Amino acid sequence: MTGAVLAALTTALVVLAGALWQRNRDLARLRAAEALARAVEAREMGTVRRLDAVTGELRRLARERVPAAAMALTHPHAPVPPPPSAGEIGPEAVAALNEALDAVLAALGEERERVDAAARASMRGATAKVQSLLYQIQSLLHELQHENDDLRLLELDFRNELALRRIQATAVLCEAWPGLARTDSPLAEVVRGAQSRVPGYQRIKVTNHLREQRLGVVARAAEPLAIALAELLANATAYSHPETEVPLTLQHGGGRGVFLVIDDAGIGMEEDALTRARRLLVGPEGLLLTELGNPPQAGFAVVGRLARQYGFTCHVEPSPYGGVRAMLRVPAEMLTVVEDEHDLSVLAPEPVQSRPTPTGREGHGVPVPGTGEPTPRRPVDVPEPDPDTARLPTRRRRAPRHQDAAAPADARTPARTPEEADARWSALQQGTVSGRNAVGGLPAPRAAGGRDHEGDEGT
């Protein structure tokens, strides 16, 4: 009996245990299924969120990043929004978005260059026509000036020259050639020619420190140099007060050619403007018209392009006069000596003859190809005999006679009236007396150079 009961109990227990186990298993399955469902749900939520983020980024690309990047092409200082973070939308999406932006920018850049090239080409055509017309006007004016004594013709010539400078600068900017071929031209004339193309040219004071008056610029570089110099002079006169002078100095740079130094006492340039100017003066490749601002500031770009093309260099820095100093270096290979048939213009600035240069130093001048000995032809008004001039034909025939005239003039100089001698000696005497009085009366000399004296005493 008990055995049967035990058996039945055992069976019941086993059945119960089996049922329990099955329930547990189902429960575990259920939990697993629930977890899976939650995980799937979570992942879906994540996907939806990412999709939203990507959509947001796409919208931001269209509304902010593309316009900002396009703006940054023309304005380097414009702020660029940051790229999307990889954490939210995943690295692939970031890469794809950036790729899209790059493609847009590349297309934009190409289009920009194409439009700019088209603009340059059309400008080139127009400037070439206008330039040749202006040259024709110039020739006519030149003829008229010799037939007619009206002063307004000179004025008209000046206006024509101003127009010509503008047109030429624009043409150079549009990659045209300078539009005029010259022969080897004396540097002094090139400088004077550049001066004549600038409004306010009377403020430019040229000082010629070259020892060789007939030092010239080789034919191919003469007109480009004049254009570049005119642009620099125009900058100097335009950005300084109309009452101030603009000194332009021609000086030897040892064996390194000739330096043309232009100073102005104007408003000067900020550091970033100087940086921009220096970048333009190197003559960068692929400079677009649209990069020059509105209205375009073409001066430095023109100088830079010509400098790169023809091999001279230009540098700008703050000037001791207060404004900007522009230095143009004409290398020795661009220099030559102009042959004697070329009559120098009477307007060409004469070399400053402050002191006789020792003959040994002549050799240190610019090594010019094709000149055996540098024998500087003296300007006509130097009253020393020049055997070269005597042999030259035509116009200079008056020069030798001038020596004869100079000799009696020298003889006449010592003759001095007693009144003159009296005036000079009494002036000298008064000067020494007043000097002694000043020294005796005042404890310390406080005249010129006082600052230096004080400094010496203080230390």
Name the site residues for another protein (rule: CB under 8 A). Answer: 135, 138-139, 142, 145-146, 148-151, 153-155, 157-158, 161, 180, 182-183, 185, 189-190, 192-193, 195-196, 200-202, 222, 226, 343, 345-350, 379-381, 383, 395, 398, 401-402, 404-406, 409, 412-413
Would you say 61 or 198 has its CB closer to another protein?
Answer: 198
Spatial separation of the C-alpha atoms in residues 384 and 453, rounded to whole Å = 44
Beta strands in 294-338 (DSSP E): 313-318, 324-330, 335-337
Minimal distance in Å, beta carbon 137 to another protein? Answer: 12
Q: Tell me, what DSSP letter sits at residue 62?
A: I
Minimal distance in Å, beta carbon 74 to another protein? Answer: 39
Would you say 409 or 448 has its CB closer to another protein?
Answer: 409
Minimal distance in Å, beta carbon 276 to another protein? Answer: 31
Angle between helix 2-60 and helix 91-147 axes, rounded to 10 deg: 0
The helix (run of H) or strand (run of E) holding residue 407 is helix 398-412
The helix (run of H) or strand (run of E) holding residue 18 is helix 2-60
Minimal distance in Å, beta carbon 197 to another protein? Answer: 9
For Cα atoms 430, 434, 435, give the angle at the middle one, nearest 5 degrees. 115
Task: Count other Cβ atoms within 10 Å, centred on residue 57.
Answer: 20
Minimal distance in Å, beta carbon 146 to another protein? Answer: 5
What is the chain's alpha carbon radius of gyration, rounded to the nearest angstrom? 42
Minimal distance in Å, beta carbon 435 to another protein? Answer: 23
Would you say 22 or 345 has its CB closer to another protein?
Answer: 345
Q: Residue 351 — φ and ψ, nearest 5°? A: -65, 145
Spatial separation of the C-alpha atoms in residues 318 and 332, rounded to whole Å = 26
Would you say 169 or 338 has its CB closer to another protein?
Answer: 338
Helix (H, G, I), strand (E, B) or coil at 326: strand
Would you say 197 or 252 has its CB closer to another protein?
Answer: 197
Q: Residue 109 — φ and ψ, nearest 5°? A: -60, -45
Do 127 and 167 meet the contact criterion of CB atoms below 8 Å apart? yes
Would you say 22 or 136 has its CB closer to another protein?
Answer: 136
Do 324 and 269 meet the contact criterion of CB atoms below 8 Å apart? yes
The arrangement of strands across the sheet holding 324-330 comes to 204-208, 246-252, 258-263, 324-330, 313-318
What does 192-204 look like in DSSP terms, one character per residue?
Answer: HHHHHTSTTGGGE
Beta strands in 74-208 (DSSP E): 185-186, 204-208
Would you say 94 or 328 has its CB closer to another protein?
Answer: 328
Choose among 358, 361, 406, 365: nearest CA to 382: 406
Task: Count other Cβ atoms within 10 Å, centred on residue 192.
Answer: 20
First-to-last C-alpha distance (Å) of the chain: 133
Spatial separation of the C-alpha atoms in residues 54 and 60, rounded to whole Å = 10
Minimal distance in Å, beta carbon 422 to another protein? Answer: 20
Minimal distance in Å, beta carbon 111 to another protein? Answer: 41
Would you say 52 or 339 has its CB closer to another protein?
Answer: 339
Minimal distance in Å, beta carbon 201 to another protein? Answer: 6
Would you say 99 or 343 has its CB closer to another protein?
Answer: 343
Minimal distance in Å, beta carbon 205 to another protein? Answer: 10
Would you say 270 or 404 has its CB closer to another protein?
Answer: 404
